[in-house]
Amino acid sequence: MILADGWDKINESERETADTFFPDSLSIKWFSYNEQKFYNGVFTLPYEKIVEKALDMGIKNDYTSNKILHFIAEVQPKGKVAVWIQKFNKDNTDLKFKIGTYQAKEIKGTWHIFDDRSETDTISNINIAQKVALVLEQHRYKLDIKLPNGYSLRDSSFDLFNQKICFFNQSKWKDTIFNFLPQGFDLTWGKGNKNFRAGFCFYENEVLKAFRKEYTTKESSQAEELILELIVNDNNDEIKVILRNTKTNAEIIFKDKCKSQFDRSIIQIR
């Protein structure tokens, strides 16, 4: 799913009064990929119940406490939303309480309901079918990261269009098989005191077209044939991203959506 802005001014009170510390309402919009529908909901929350349960969890009704209360909007099929409050403890256990379940309404929206105030294009026709394909289509492939000799991978992340984020380092990325399309990555590597970082964003049309072209079967062996290569040159100043089909020897080089002609692909960090 894709969510528009959920909580409006979390823990922010215009009048700075104590009785408005906890939220008393929820406004939420989202798109369901499985149903291909837009939903909108504005719900009044049971404020007194929230305060009571928060106090039971040890959360004070003020701005001085260092304890954090999480509000969770659990989007369910057919426009339902369950709201929870949750507090995490140091031992990784948590206290959770369900506030209630609410019913949103289907709306005749477009993808522009997710535009923020900085958007200038609010009327173009956005291909919903492509948005759905980017999230739901499965294409098995491996990731291969090639660094200059002597360098090792530091903590990095790999983002998928289905909103999953994979975190990995030198010992955790090899032989991993991915099933969903890549959206981007944040790569960090180094040797001694030298450390470098590169971010990359895939163009939606380009990555979908490339994987559809090279992915021809759902057999398990296909994962051995498609390899997404991230190649850093010896000078640590350029990175290439290539989809390689080892069976046909075909390769497709991707362009970085986030990079302008004046930006460097790689930066050195301390």
Residue 119 resides in a domain: no
Structure tokens at 7: 């909580």
Q: Give residue 111's pLDDT.
A: 87
Residue 196 resides in a domain: yes
CA distance 140 to 148: 27
For 142, the 3-state DSSP assignment is strand
Residue 133 resides in a domain: yes
Going through the chain in order, the beta strands assigned E by DSSP cover: 2-3, 25-32, 37-44, 70-75, 80-88, 94-103, 105-107, 138-146, 152-153, 156-160, 165-168, 177-180, 182-191, 194-201, 226-232, 239-245, 250-253, 266-269
**Long-range pairs for 216-224: beta carbons < 8 A, 24 or more residues apart:** 218/138, 218/140, 220/140, 222/140, 223/140, 223/141, 223/142, 223/177, 224/142
CA distance 28 to 102: 11
Percentage of the chain with pLDDT > 90?
54
Shared domain check, 109 and 8: yes
List pLDDT tens digits, range 241-250. 999 999 999 9
Residue 2 pLDDT exceeds 70: no
Q: pLDDT grade, residue 132 (50/70/90)?
A: very high
Decide which of 113, 143, 174 is a domain's last residue: 113
Residue 96 pLDDT exceeds 80: yes
Residue 123 resides in a domain: no
Residue 19 resides in a domain: yes
Shared domain check, 217 and 170: yes
Q: Give residue 160's pLDDT.
A: 97
CA distance 59 to 85: 11
Residue 118 resides in a domain: no
Residue 251 resides in a domain: yes
Closest Cα to residue 85, out of 63, 65, 58? Answer: 58
Neighbouring CB atoms inside 10 A of 72's CB total 12
Range of the domain at 67: 2-113
Shared domain check, 75 and 166: no
CA distance 54 to 43: 19
Look at the chain and report how many structural domains it folds into. 2
Residue 167 resides in a domain: yes
Q: Give residue 236's pLDDT.
A: 92
Shared domain check, 136 and 84: no
Shared domain check, 137 and 53: no
Quick one: average pLDDT of 227-256? 94
Name 30's bridge partners: 3, 39
Shared domain check, 216 and 90: no
Which residues 6+ apart lie within 8 Å of 215 measured at CB?
139, 140, 141, 222, 226
List pLDDT tens digits, range 42-94. 999 999 998 888 888 777 655 455 566 788 899 999 999 999 988 766 555 66
Task: Record the pTM.
Answer: 0.76
Neighbouring CB atoms inside 10 A of 191's CB total 14
Percentage of the chain with pLDDT > 70?
78
Shared domain check, 136 and 49: no
List pLDDT tens digits, range 7-30. 333 333 344 434 446 888 999 999
Quick one: average pLDDT of 248-254? 94
CA distance 174 to 151: 16
Q: Give residue 87's pLDDT.
A: 79
Is 217 or 196 the better-scoring residue by pLDDT? 196
Q: pLDDT grade, residue 171 (50/70/90)?
A: confident
